[in-house]
Structure 1
């Protein structure tokens, strides 16, 4: 459903085009061009790169991909269940360059037997990268990622500085 308060823009990035969606003055979506659970484009609102906070989000993402920013400071409007919002809030606490397992994240939110539910909520994160769902891994290493494992690996490598961020480009 299109709302009058929604606007979007598309930002080119090293992992391909990113669609940024604003609702009022808050970022409510950040989607990769190939992403599981990507909403239909007609829900993104009008194309308006100047809408708040799309300019600030684009600037911060550009700095992040250049290796110059380790944390985002953007107003967010994330719509989901109470459980999903708890998981998404916990994701924002995972430090830059670090990873956590689904089981550890479940324990962090006080629900130690909910690692599968945590994984499902993680996969429904509407503001990927800014809310770093890529920092959650399985106990045996990398597991699924809504944007594809190659993008997850790219983001983790970027944060661990194993690649030169200025030259690295996935797509």
Structure 2
């Protein structure tokens, strides 16, 4: 049974969905009408978010289970490999996936589109993927690019 919780954060209200012991969604979406639940996983997520926005790297691995296409899942898996405080470009992720698939090229734009559909912001850190010539896009948070910039600054990036 799906359960929901809403968290106030510096980038806006995040709505989380839990299903069978995993977070399946964490996004800035309209949360009006949501009936919130209290669960141990939401308690863990609350602590994780508080630590994250206090500039601390949490050691708690919150279980996630995103739903998407095979390609989206591949991209999201690559995003989860980007460590706190690091960034990778859309092109680097595309090259990693191409290499894994045994092909010569992969579209960085397709990688960006898959990232934009990431249902679990922060825990699948799409904000850590940047453009080769700048910050790139961001579809989470109340103010898009400014939210991404805020998250990257929290992780020690001041030049983006």
Q: What TM-score, normalized by structure 1, do the two folds share?
A: 0.80
Of the three residues 46, 49, 72, the one matched with 1:84 is: 72
CA distance in 2, matches of 1:127, 1:99: 18
Of the three residues 6, 12, 18, the one matched with 1:16 is: 12
- Once the two structures are superposed, what CA deviation does each residue of 1:54-78 show, in whole Å capped at 9, x if it has no partner? 1111111111111122555011111
The total of aligned residue pairs comes to: 150
Of the three residues 117, 120, 124, the one matched with 2:113 is: 120
Q: Confirm or deny that 1:47 pairs with 2:46.
A: no
Q: What TM-score, normalized by structure 2, do the two folds share?
A: 0.85
Deviation, structure 1 residue 96: 1.0
Deviation, structure 1 residue 51: 2.3
Of the three residues 15, 23, 27, the one matched with 1:27 is: 23
CA distance in 2, matches of 1:161, 1:102: 17
Unpaired segments of 5 or more residues in structure 2?
Answer: none
Unpaired segments of 5 or more residues in structure 1?
Answer: 34-39, 163-171
User: In structure 1, the residue corresponding to 2:12 is in which secondary structure?
Assistant: coil
